[in-house]
Structure 1
């Protein structure tokens, strides 16, 4: 079978598109970076690809709010094309700013008749956080996370605090197996109890997210949004402790891209 084709979407201010395309290519995919203006002018481009990835960065300079302008463009002008893409058994990945964008598109099944059930807000620290974090993974049916139980990844964001409407919503998301990534504490274990308040202290939870949530998937398991950057840990030597821990070979972040490519093989 030919390599699955990956559309890596970029907009003014996006700055992780090249690294993300490289990550998919390393996994065996055929990646292409596409500017939002090109996609708006030719929505049929989506049908030519098997994976859509919205890369990290600062789309439109994070004016108004992180990811809002790009998210609104996709929701208002490409809603039908995006839903057709997802319904065709294809994959969607949103990383950092891409997660912020996905939250506003409807692709993560996070809206109901009352509006958004969750959002991404300013970090509790009130500032941009760039550090490595440890994550507990509960992949369930999420395609990208199969075979991963725990992973170190870097974060770099100012608006990454996952906030849920109420406890009932949080419990429903958990029951559906959609809370696939949670920040770990120093001992490497998240609190099993779900609470609207974070259980893992700062800086292990870098933003104060409810229930220490770092990423969620949609109801199909084929759409994933996460705040950490897997494309920044493709090689062991990218980890800050790679020498002291005797790490070599591929970095743990590469597995997400491997899983996406393997899905079509």
Structure 2
């Protein structure tokens, strides 16, 4: 595996959160920084890894994996590391897919639906208000359902689409994690910005929580709680 300087030697006893790097990833280091700020050790995972090296959770970051050839996430879905992530997620490993990571999770079948070209056919980059719809996932337990937060979005293929029966199922099962408020940037059905798996351990969302973790560089710190949420989830599971 190539040298990917995502973290230092680590903190003994701290949870280990894998951060995947694909060819074309842009936000892996930002995700690693968010993991470290939350109190965990970011562990670099390369797209060619078939071993997750004993991590306690995984983040699939944003970017343009494999150049988004064919369509976003379509090639990454067949990488060795995603095969390992899919198997581990089905055994309960917490997984967060951010932007391109969300697209990969949908392509891999861990989350329903698909991400398509924005309705306006333009790349969108702005700070976006969201409403947290559920706090009962591995990645949102530090939020309150109904709370509004501010998280950046930056994508060209972020319009979430899903058939009517699956949408009804997601709604009935409280699996819509976050919705856009104050304007839908991409035309996603029902203003959906993120969803979770049936076991509530896998979450995908188009906004970038790793870009809202420090007052100095982001629009506040609303995104940091997504990373502290999973640490709390891991602690509860260990008790």
Question: For the residues of structure 1 that align with 2:189 and 2:29, how far apart are their CA atoms?
Answer: 31
Q: How does 1:36-115 map onto structure 2 within 5 Å? A: 36-37=47-48, 39=49, 43=50, 45-46=51-52, 48-73=54-79, 79=83, 81-108=84-111, 110=112
Highest CA radius of gyration, 1 or 2?
1
Question: For the residues of structure 2 that align with 1:83 and 1:232, how far apart are their CA atoms?
Answer: 26
Where in structure 1 are there 5+ consecutive unaligned residues? 111-117, 186-203, 243-250
Aligned match for 2:33, one of 10, 22, 30: 22
Question: Alignment length, in residue pairs?
Answer: 221
Deviations 1:55-94 (A, max 9, x none): 10111111111111101335xx854x43441244321000
Counterpart for residue 263 of structure 1: 233
Cα gap change, 1:216 to 1:90, in 2 (>3 Å):
same
Tell me by how many angstroms 1:252 deviates. Answer: 0.9
What TM-score do the two structures reach when normalised by structure 2?
Answer: 0.87
Counterpart for residue 228 of structure 1: 207
1:83–1:107 contact (8 Å) kept in structure 2: yes
Please give the root-mean-square deviation of Cα atoms over the aligned residues, in Å. Answer: 1.8
Q: How does 1:113-124 map onto structure 2 within 5 Å? A: 118-124=113-119
Counterpart for residue 3 of structure 1: 14
Tell me by how many angstroms 1:128 deviates. Answer: 0.8
Cα gap change, 1:234 to 1:140, in 2 (>3 Å):
closer
